[in-house]
Each structure stands twice: as structure tokens, then as C-alpha cells.
Structure 1
Amino acid sequence: MAAVAAPPDISPMSRDRPVELEPVVPVSGRRRPVPRWGRRTVGPVGLLVLWQVLSSAGVLQPDILAAPGTIASAAADLVADGTLPSAMAVSLQRVAVGLLIGGVAGTGLALLSGLSRLGEDLIDATVQMLRTVPWVGLIPLFIIWMGIGEAPKIALIALGVAFHLYLNVYAGIRGVDEQLIEAGTSLGLSRAALIRHVVLPGALPGAMTGLRYSLATAWLALVFGEQVNADDGIGFLMNRAREFFQTDVIVVCLVVYAFLGLTADIVVRTLERLLLQWRPSFTGQ
């Protein structure tokens, strides 16, 4: 008969002895994660390095696209003599005025159309028809109606902003949950209180999305608008650089456009996080 192994010794002393356990560290926790800003800069830095390498190797000729070093030197010269800060101030003023006018018009029309069926019948069809017209194609009419001063440039920006805000604010109002409206009504809220405490907060996410689209459209409209007989601004610098084949100055102006647009988007994102803290959202994994 096979021998049976003796059971392990479980004496009172061994039962009272604490068991030493080694902490298990996950593999992901042993590595120091790369910060998000580092990951986000990999693409732009890699593109910049490739651009410099191709320029140094002679693949990219200066008359086609200037090297990053040449562009940085041109930007420093424009900043030193005050040309670039002055142009940025003029362009920012145009965007701010156009955004204010278009924002008030688009939001006001969206409130009238979204909160009232009569307003929808009177406004929505007209706006939907006009928004299909390419607003850039209205530049010749704006010049005829308003001349070649600041008015057509601001009107072009305001028009692009108004349509984006109208669509998103209107969709946000009409996207409010009907059960919330019924709950507010059953609690005895008046129409004004219902709009203030239920409808407008529910439409705020759509309004913030519309604001982000509007800012992007505002900068795009500024590019087109400043091609119309501008005597100052970033577009004026681009036109003057084009006449003298200064690709470095043209790229500087494009980078400034991109920087201003990115800054505006960051501001809106920050504002969105502050105003929409009550709404949980998925932030990625």
C-alpha cells in the first residue's frame, strides 16, 4: 500500500505567525507614464524636425517653402519692429467685433425659433435657406453694399458665426428632455422659470459646441475678409509677402492664424469645463 503523506504541521504557534506577503506591482505601475503634453507634442515636433532636415538637404527650396530657422528669424524681426503685434491687434479686433455681432444675432434668432413654434415658422425656414448659400461668395455683394473698408470684413465674420451658433443653440433647445419639461411643469414652474432653470441649462452644451465652431469659422472668414483691400492686419502682411515671394513671412502669418485659433479653442474648452461641471462626460481611456 502506498504511503500517505503526513499533513502539514499546524500548531498553535504556526497559526499565530503572520504570513508575509509581497506586494504585487502591476507592470503599468513600474513605468513612469509620459505626461499628456509630451505625447501631444510628439507629432508637431517630429514634423518640424522633418521639415528642417528636408530644407537642409535641399529638398525644399527657399522660394517654395522657407526653413523653420528662417521662419523663426523672420518672426523675430516682425516682432522686434512692431509689425506683427500691430497686425495681430487689428485682426483680433475684427474677430471680436464680428463674433459679438454674429453671436448676438445667431443666439437671438435661435432663442426665438427654438422656444416658440411661431418663431420657428417665421425664422427657421429663412435661416436654413440662407445658410446653404456659400457665405464667402457674398464678398462681392458686401463690397458693393458696404465699400472696401472694415464693414465687409466684419460682416463676413458675423455671418459665418451667426449660422453656426443658430444651428447649435436651436438644436440644444429642441434636444432638451421632454420629461424634464413635464417635471418642471408639475412642480409649478412658470414659463419664464422653466426656460431659465430647465431649457437654457439643457441647451448650454449645444451652445458651447456652437461657440467652438463659430470661433473656427471666424478665423476662416478673417482670412478671406483680409484679402479685400486690407491696409493692416495679418492678411495684409500675407498679401504683401506674396508680392515679394517671402514664403517665410507667409508661413509666419499662417502660424499666427493657427496659434490664435488654438488659443481661442482652449479658452472655450476651459469655459466649457467651468460651466458644464454638472454634466459628466467621457474623457477617454
Structure 2
Amino acid sequence: MGDFSNPFDLFESLFEGMDGRSRQSWDGAMNGEDEYYSLVLNFKEAVFGVEKEIEIRRLEKCGTCDGSGAKPGTKSSRCNTCGGQGRVATQTRTPLGIFQQSMTCSSCNGTGETRTPCSTCSGDGRVRKTKRISLKVPAGVDSGSRLRVRNEGNSGKRGGSPGDLFVVLEVIPDPVLKREDTNILYSCKVSYIDAILGTTIKVPTVDGMVDLKIPSGTQPGSTLVMAKKGVPLLNKKNMRGDQFVRVQVEIPKKLSSDERKLIEELSELSKGKTAAGMR
């Protein structure tokens, strides 16, 4: 199972190789390539985390030649191109002088030896196989997040270290709740009567339906905050964002005669209060 206790595992691969180190050592050992896998999560799986079992195809050590790349029973000989060094030097003449560079020998691929290739792996020393891996996705991930599983990439050559597995996440949006970083956005509709008098409504959250109190006198477009009903912070499950509820006040397009009469009486009462307050 992958270990994601270190948050930097999600991002540190971006800086690999910037120190100039080669994936191949001087003795011909070559580190394995990283493998990538795309995983689709639903909205709540991304919010709260989930355990998934995935199936990947990767290069593993050939069982026929035990990773050597040579046909069993045959002997290797020293490479004539590099003299058994595994590397060759090239020179380039520039206006600043002669530039010399050491490169992996293309004849022996850095082994320093030539051999009869294994018929199973065609001399690569590796064959592609399927493996199932248990993956723990932490709470708070989002589309584009990358999880790193160390040493679960392609096998190295000639004793080289295996590569890593990077799982790239894609999250399916929720049709009702909108996510912005660690916060959740939701819009609700209330009648103008409920906005004036106040009420309690049921609101969907990632935790399920929750009661939300609409205070009396709530204005159209007001935003109410439901604390700690948002998304957990990555690797900090005890800390969560908030849910913001934007209130839309519905004004009826048509009124019955009784409703119009009551509204007109309320209007006259309001005008009377305003006039009294100006005296």
C-alpha cells in the first residue's frame, strides 16, 4: 500500500532531475522509468478519502534471464565499441574550445558487454506484467492531485532502482455542491415571506442534509456560513473549510386578490411608520 503521510510526495517529482543526476550509473545499472495511472473519483471520495485497488501494467524483471537480458546458457563478451567501459567520449569543437562529453554506449546500452539476447524479453531484461495495488487516497484531494507510490513503477535494468508510480486524480463534480478549494458553495431559494419572518430549511452538505436557520429580515443575495461543513485540509483531517449558502429570495409574479390586499395593507402600514418617524 502506498504511503502518503508526507504531503511533499504529491509534488516533489516536479523537481526530480534538476540537479543534473542521470538515471543511469557508470556501472551500467539503469533506474526504472516512472509509471502513470489515471484514477477517477466521485465528489465525496475526493472530500473524505477512499481506499481503492487499482490494476497497473508495468515492466518487471524477466524470469527467463533473471533480468540480465542474455539468453540463458550463453556467455557475454566485451563490447568492442566502448572497450567494456559502457560509455564513449565524444568531442565537439566550438569557438570557445573543444567540448568533451561522456555518453552511454549505444552498442551495449551501457553494460560494457555484448550478448545473445533473451528470447523472452528481447534483451531488455524486463517484461510487462499486470499487478494489483492497494491505494489509500487521502481526504481533501482534487482534480489534478498526484499521489506517489514509491518503487511501484517500472523495474530497473541491471540492478537499477525501480521507478515510482504516480496516480493522477480526476474528480467528478457534484451537480448541486460546488467546490472552491476547501470551501463548498450552495444556493438556496426561499419565499419572500420566509425571508421576512425567518424560517428553517434543509440544506444538502457533504455530511448529508442539515438544518439551516434563515434569520428574519434576510436580504436577497445574502450569504450564510455553515462553519466546518466544507472539505478537509489535505493531510489535516481535523481541519475543514466552510459551506457558504447564498440565499435567493423568490418574489411571486402573480398574487391572489387576498394576497394583494394583505400586501397593500402592509404597504400602508409601512408608509405610516415612515411618516411617523419623520415627525
Pairwise TM-score range, normalised by the shorter structure: under 0.3
Q: Which has the larger radius of gyration?
A: 2
The structure with more strand, counted as a fraction of residues = 2
Q: TM-score, normalised by structure 1?
A: 0.23
TM-score normalised by L of structure 2: 0.23
